[in-house]
A and B are shown apart, each in its own frame.
Chain A
């Protein structure tokens, strides 16, 4: 019997929490002026400071602080009037100093919220804190599986060490019920969109510039919140949802068997969607936090903070509401477009003259499919909303059939040329010359007497191959629906009997 989330929430209430790390897209690192370019040759973007060489000292990046404050403001947080960096002490080879400069009991931003919509219901996610720290280097484990268990040795690249990292921690989120997995995913999605709108990070989960840890617990109704587990290695939006779902189901089974959930860190497994326990530690890590003596306190000027607030761009939720109004679509439609990442594309296409429905259909349909095939976002397709509007115009005018329009789009995607140029180059044009069609129809009928007979006898559906033959003869440039009509007429099968 497969247990589902519904089964779980029939007995238990979930509480979720999310910890997100965001790599800022500053030009230089958090505490030194090394470049932050992704994908550089190993250990070519290091200096005494980010390598933690003896004698080196950190100096804080002004832009990173500004970005962090803007993130806090976008999340409705209070901004500290005075705060400090702190050292988080532990030994790990990807940390050159064996301590991380972070923030502990004095984060830059506290106490905000983010509203997430799932299936027409709004959930307010409390934001506990937003703070600033430095990223670690990258370990590559060499051995059997490339994972740390059973590795023979490891290799370390410190290019990433010292890149500014913003940590966003939610308050525990109860009352999500069976929507917990979707709420978690929705939160990360919305957060990602906000960060993108602010322009502070390129938020690519697959590149590691947005990382999530998910916390999950279950409790029986009326009971205090349960033991929570932390799940790491959640590298995509889909994984966020799967990780919560998987943990809820796993914990429910544990509790149902009368056992206690073990407080631990687990790792999400992409391949199975399950989580497995991390290596157990004898004792919890005591990070021995103390204020960073090599840095001085931050006291953001309140009038500067207010200016930053005033200059925040239109945040995604407001933006979506405005677009939704303009397009006049339902909430579900908006959600669908948002999930597919095409809201602005559709809006711009409409602005270029296309009707809403057609614009939506193209972007959610054929174009989304093409983006999927190429493993990119629809926004990255080499075709502009203006060009899509042109396609819609051509189909609407009867100049192109849908099939021809798709050919034109394919051409544009392949060559990057304008639709009109592609149409001209390929000679795409509906063959609507009645005589030419009639000739082709008669030829097809003559060439397939058995099929013709069937159609005459009433088997209208059998006309397919004849349509195909005519399409072939016209190099696909006839309107298939019109061709079918014509054949049926000539075969005396009468008006269309239902389907198109």
Chain B
């Protein structure tokens, strides 16, 4: 039974499809695993036992009735609590939404359900997706399965840890500045940020509208690709949803597994490395680049000078948009209301509610955003940041004339200790140095495990032009085949009976 939790999503789906195992068995195995390890990993905010078993039984009934099953039918999944799920508590990691039960499903929630995927529950995250360690969750931190005293990355740390700890083979996160790729990297799994607009944002509690994208987590590149194909596609409920269909990412992953990158031009981005990056991370990255060369890729170097300004631009654009997106949390229509004693005015109640309901990082970003959009400051801050964004896109465009994909470490650091950086916002922000440029340009990027440093996972980031997500998967799959072929798969240490 416990081996079921070690299988990939593709393997589980295959076994269910041929009747080797029932969906209900698979779900029970994973629910058991959650019970066994989640009190130390603490990936989940809410486990939906009844809902999961119900969904699993539906798949089993469909199979028994001879109906067609989707490619991931019966496979369990951990859903980041930023995604709205009808009838299930959705908090976005915040006290201000504690107890809120959405009356509707996000588009991706509906797609998951329609595909017969079994949602096990909602996972922990940095509050409103703001953070790189999941320590900003209003409820509790999540612990990295590789070392329980360390962070799992953020903001999608819960989903990432869940997949890494074998609580689910699939996870969904959201990536605004790196919040899928960085957690994937530091927990040793695969995570992908799709081309902006490639996956619907309808039902994603908004942090930074022009940057947010939901994406897949898996322990293999193929698993992530299969989930991507379920999640992606045009959505008429999302005006920023692109009309193009999902790129052929699963096919690309399968093709890539042939580990042949002859003729593929891979460029190392000069600016995403060097000072400030941990030596172990750089070493693992260099090895990964060698591996790619060994697979037949042509490796070159490019300079994207405006990437140096990505952090500054991001920490203006994202707070500006979030200061507006989070204005709706005011205690009037749903969520927390504080201080309504019959005497205080609405303005006072709103202010007390937001003060009590938001954590410090959220407040900081709201205030920065309010400042950057203020009359008199707009041009110098928000306006200027949007121009820098154009320059970053141009850097990408120029680079992609010389290369098919760009590569870098997914993060300058491996997982750090819980509590280590939480009091220093800037020290936290630099976790995103590698991931921010693709976020700002809206181009796709994947993180695939490429080794260990000090016993902790390091991720290789592969970036492709807009709409070319399949290139990310192809190169990542090729690398994965080579790496796993040599080193075996990266697996988090055994947690049951194990110490932190």
Tell me if B373 and A294 are in contact (CB < 8 A).
Answer: no
User: Residue of A at shortest CB range from B351?
Assistant: A91
- In the complex, whether B402 has a CB less than 8 A from a CB of chain A is no
Contacts of B239 in A (CB 8 A): 57-60, 294-296
The B46-105 residues at the A interface (CB cut-off 8 A) are 83-84, 90, 92, 97, 100, 102-104
Tell me if A54 and B205 are in contact (CB < 8 A).
Answer: yes
Tell me if B378 and A55 are in contact (CB < 8 A).
Answer: no
- In the complex, whether A290 has a CB less than 8 A from a CB of chain B is yes
- In the complex, whether B426 has a CB less than 8 A from a CB of chain A is no
Q: A288–B322 Cα gap in the complex (Å)?
A: 13
Of A96-104, A123-131, A299-307, A339-347, the one with at least 4 CB within 8 A of chain B: A96-104
Output the least CB separation between B384 and chain A (Å).
Answer: 13
Query: Given known contacts A55-B206, A91-B350, is B324 in contact with A294 (CB within 8 Å)?
Result: no
Q: Per a CB cutoff under 8 Å, which of A96, A97, A288 touches B373?
A: A288
The B357-407 residues at the A interface (CB cut-off 8 A) are 370, 373-375, 378, 382
- Which of B90, B92, B324, B374 has most chain A Cβ within 10 Å? B324
Output the least CB separation between B329 and chain A (Å).
Answer: 8
Flag B320-351 by CB within 8 Å of A: 1 or 0 each.
Answer: 11011001111011100000000000110010
Tell me if B378 and A290 are in contact (CB < 8 A).
Answer: yes
Query: Given known contacts A89-B373, A97-B327, A286-B374, is B92 in contact with A54 (CB within 8 Å)?
Result: yes
Q: Per a CB cutoff under 8 Å, which of A56, A93, A97, A293 touches B346?
A: A93
Query: Given known contacts A286-B375, A288-B373, A294-B239, is B202 in contact with A96 (CB within 8 Å)?
Result: no
Contacts of A293 in B (CB 8 A): 208-210, 240, 321
Flag A57-76 by CB within 8 Å of B: 1 or 0 each.
Answer: 11110000000000000000
- In the complex, whether B204 has a CB less than 8 A from a CB of chain A is yes
Tell me if B374 and A288 are in contact (CB < 8 A).
Answer: yes
Output the least CB separation between B378 and chain A (Å).
Answer: 7
Tell me if B332 and A57 are in contact (CB < 8 A).
Answer: no
Tell me if A59 and B237 are in contact (CB < 8 A).
Answer: yes
Tell me if B328 and A294 are in contact (CB < 8 A).
Answer: no
- In the complex, whether A416 has a CB less than 8 A from a CB of chain B is no
Tell me if B203 and A55 are in contact (CB < 8 A).
Answer: yes
- In the complex, whether A51 has a CB less than 8 A from a CB of chain B is yes
Q: A87–B382 Cα gap in the complex (Å)?
A: 14
Tell me if B327 and A91 are in contact (CB < 8 A).
Answer: yes
Contacts of B330 in A (CB 8 A): 91, 93, 98
Contacts of A53 in B (CB 8 A): 84, 102-104, 333-334
Contacts of B100 in A (CB 8 A): 54
Tell me if A288 and B370 are in contact (CB < 8 A).
Answer: yes
Query: Given known contacts A53-B104, A54-B97, A54-B328, is B240 in contact with A294 (CB within 8 Å)?
Result: yes
- In the complex, whether B238 has a CB less than 8 A from a CB of chain A is yes
Q: Per a CB cutoff under 8 Å, which of A52, A56, A156 touches B202?
A: A56
Contacts of B102 in A (CB 8 A): 53-55
Tell me if B236 and A59 are in contact (CB < 8 A).
Answer: yes
Tell me if A98 and B205 are in contact (CB < 8 A).
Answer: no
Contacts of B324 in A (CB 8 A): 87, 89, 99, 288, 290
Contacts of A296 in B (CB 8 A): 239-240
Tell me if A290 and B373 are in contact (CB < 8 A).
Answer: yes
Contact residues of B: prevailing secondary structure: loop
Output the least CB separation between A291 and chain B (Å).
Answer: 9
Interface size for A (C-beta < 8 A) is 29
Q: A54–B100 Cα gap in the complex (Å)?
A: 10
Query: Given known contacts A93-B346, A290-B373, A296-B239, is B202 in contact with A57 (CB within 8 Å)?
Result: yes
- In the complex, whether B106 has a CB less than 8 A from a CB of chain A is yes
The A26-71 residues at the B interface (CB cut-off 8 A) are 48, 51-60
- Which of B104, B332, B347 has most chain A Cβ within 10 Å? B332
Output the least CB separation between A90 and chain B (Å).
Answer: 9
Contacts of B332 in A (CB 8 A): 93, 156
Output the least CB separation between B391 and chain A (Å).
Answer: 18
User: Residue of A at shortest CB range from B332?
Assistant: A93
- Which of B204, B206, B382 has most chain A Cβ within 10 Å? B206
Q: Per a CB cutoff under 8 Å, which of A58, A98, A156 touches B328?
A: A98
Q: A55–B104 Cα gap in the complex (Å)?
A: 10
Tell me if B327 and A89 are in contact (CB < 8 A).
Answer: yes
Tell me if A55 and B84 are in contact (CB < 8 A).
Answer: yes
- In the complex, whether B201 has a CB less than 8 A from a CB of chain A is yes
Tell me if A97 and B382 are in contact (CB < 8 A).
Answer: no
How many A-B residue contacts, CB cutoff 8 Å? 96
Contacts of B209 in A (CB 8 A): 293-294
- Which of B104, B370, B374 has most chain A Cβ within 10 Å? B104
Output the least CB separation between A21 and chain B (Å).
Answer: 22
Q: A392–B39 Cα gap in the complex (Å)?
A: 92
Flag B167-201 by CB within 8 Å of A: 1 or 0 each.
Answer: 00000000000000000000000000000000001
Q: A54–B103 Cα gap in the complex (Å)?
A: 11
Contacts of A288 in B (CB 8 A): 323-324, 370, 373-375, 378
Tell me if B320 and A55 are in contact (CB < 8 A).
Answer: no
Tell me if B333 and A51 are in contact (CB < 8 A).
Answer: yes
Flag B95-126 by CB within 8 Å of A: 1 or 0 each.
Answer: 00100101110100000000000000000000
Tell me if A57 and B201 are in contact (CB < 8 A).
Answer: yes
Contacts of B378 in A (CB 8 A): 288, 290
Q: A293–B90 Cα gap in the complex (Å)?
A: 24
Output the least CB separation between B128 and chain A (Å).
Answer: 10
- Which of A56, A57, A89, A154 has most chain B Cβ within 10 Å? A57
Tell me if B333 and A96 are in contact (CB < 8 A).
Answer: yes
Contacts of A93 in B (CB 8 A): 330, 332, 346
User: Residue of A at shortest CB range from B201?
Assistant: A57
Output the least CB separation between A284 and chain B (Å).
Answer: 9
Contacts of A57 in B (CB 8 A): 201-202, 237-240
Output the least CB separation between A39 and chain B (Å).
Answer: 22
Contacts of A54 in B (CB 8 A): 84, 90, 92, 97, 100, 102, 205-206, 328-329
- Which of B97, B210, B236, B333 has most chain A Cβ within 10 Å? B333
User: Residue of B at shortest CB range from A152?
Assistant: B342
The B230-261 residues at the A interface (CB cut-off 8 A) are 236-240
Flag A258-287 by CB within 8 Å of B: 1 or 0 each.
Answer: 000000000000000000000000000010
Q: Per a CB cutoff under 8 Å, which of A98, A290, A295 touches B327?
A: A98
Q: A218–B344 Cα gap in the complex (Å)?
A: 41
Tell me if A55 and B204 are in contact (CB < 8 A).
Answer: yes
User: Residue of A at shortest CB range from B203?
Assistant: A55
Contacts of A97 in B (CB 8 A): 327-328
Contacts of B210 in A (CB 8 A): 293
Q: A59–B90 Cα gap in the complex (Å)?
A: 24
Contacts of B374 in A (CB 8 A): 286, 288
User: Residue of B at shortest CB range from A92?
Assistant: B346
Output the least CB separation between B327 and chain A (Å).
Answer: 4
Q: A294–B196 Cα gap in the complex (Å)?
A: 12
Tell me if A96 and B206 are in contact (CB < 8 A).
Answer: no
Contacts of B90 in A (CB 8 A): 54
Tell me if B321 and A99 are in contact (CB < 8 A).
Answer: no
Q: A296–B242 Cα gap in the complex (Å)?
A: 11
Contacts of B203 in A (CB 8 A): 55-56
Q: Per a CB cutoff under 8 Å, which of A96, A98, A290 touches B320?
A: A290
Q: A55–B100 Cα gap in the complex (Å)?
A: 13
Q: Please, could you name 17 A-B residue pairs with CB atoms under 8 Å apart, sorted by A?
A: A54-B97, A54-B102, A55-B205, A55-B206, A56-B202, A56-B203, A98-B327, A98-B330, A286-B375, A288-B373, A290-B321, A290-B373, A290-B378, A290-B382, A294-B239, A295-B239, A296-B239
The 10 A-B pairs of least Cβ separation, nearest first, read: A98-B327, A293-B209, A288-B373, A293-B210, A55-B84, A55-B203, A54-B205, A286-B375, A97-B328, A52-B328
Further pairs besides A54-B92, A288-B324, A296-B240: 14, Cβ < 8 Å: A54-B90, A54-B102, A55-B84, A55-B204, A55-B206, A56-B202, A58-B239, A91-B350, A93-B330, A97-B327, A288-B323, A289-B373, A293-B240, A295-B240
